[in-house]
Amino acid sequence: MSGHDHEKYLHKVSQHRIAPPAVTGGDLAADLIDRAFLSYNAGRLREVCQVFTRKMLAPDCTVGLTISGALTPAGMGMSCLIPLIRAGFVDWIVSTGANLYHDTHYALDLPLHQSRPNLDDYALRENAIIRIYDIVFDYKTLLDTDSFYRELIRTDVFARPMGTAEFHYEVGRYLQARAEALGRPANSLLAAAFECGVPIYTSSPGDSSIGMNLAALSMLDSKLQIDSLRDVNETASIVYKAKRDGGHSGVLILGGGSPKNFMLQTEPQIQEVLGLEEAGHDYFLQITDARPDTGGLSGATATEAMTWGKVDPEKLPDSVTCYTDSTIALPLLTAYALARHEARPLKRLYDSREASYGALKDAYLARLAEEAKA
């Protein structure tokens, strides 16, 4: 290779020389990320921040967020997720039920405390203290939260079948009203999502303390039934509408597991199952500490997801996986986005979910009718 060709190739693979300014101690988080997060997973986190802020937050992009791992007990709901929702940076969510259950502790003003990971768990058990790694709280917090859900679910609002988005919306409505009546902030992801019209889905509603309490009441007189199949079609309709309206769909994945797959399977549901023309999500950003070579879903890469139709193959350059802890990355991403992008108008997808669902159903029935004629 000639010297000229060598320089051309080097310029092709990188246009940026590594020559960062010195860190001063007075740097803003966003400036530090742009200037000093250059290589390895710091570089990937910078790319996540930049793609999220420069591309996914475009007005025509619908942003989906998945939440797994114990993030709300660590305060991530109050510190990061609520500000992102209120800034219009998150349009819909898939979360584990556990994150929403623990979010409710904050809404009910039931305290969680910082501690250390090397405590005597036998002594904690004897003293009715619950531990989540280095977070501790009173066992009564669980009992009080369980009691809250059992009492709330017995009200007439919940005396019917509903999907998880509607269920969480009604819980958030109550938590928001309760906070207003008490004259204090709700401090709740569920309440903020209600306030901003952001639908929250749970991919496995029975797999949490909320689901356990719903299950207990189902053996009594509760008429509430969670319609998980409704959730499958409703989430697919959000993505279908975003793309059919000429916009884009982006996913920000914190961790992995069931919430990740539930959000990504919207595209195979549209393409493979319903038989409607689509190409996949446009933006795929994941924060994970899992490895792909163990076969765990949490570590599945964007290119692997592309083979399933979950990610648009034309948009793979806008797909980034950063291998780090979400509790490190999320505060940095939040600070970066709020510093680098103005708030977006709320899409309030909850308000339009019935219309989106109807449009997807109509498209599916029309395809079946055309197929019958052929």
Q: Which residues are known catalytic residues? A: 310
Phi, psi values for residue 183, rounded to 5°? 70, 35
Q: How many whole angstroms separate alpha carbon 55 and alpha carbon 77?
A: 24
Measured CA to CA in angstroms, residue 94 lies from 27, 119, 193, 238, 242 at distances of: 34, 32, 12, 12, 17
Measured CA to CA in angstroms, residue 329 lies from 92, 115, 305, 324, 336 at distances of: 20, 21, 22, 7, 10
Q: How many whole angstroms separate alpha carbon 172 and alpha carbon 193?
A: 7
Instruction: Name the residue with tokens 């989430």.
Output: 235
Q: How many whole angstroms separate alpha carbon 226 and alpha carbon 206?
A: 9
**Nearest to residue 263, comparing CAs of 310, 230, 214, 193?**
310
Instruction: Name the residue with tokens 């958030």.
Output: 172
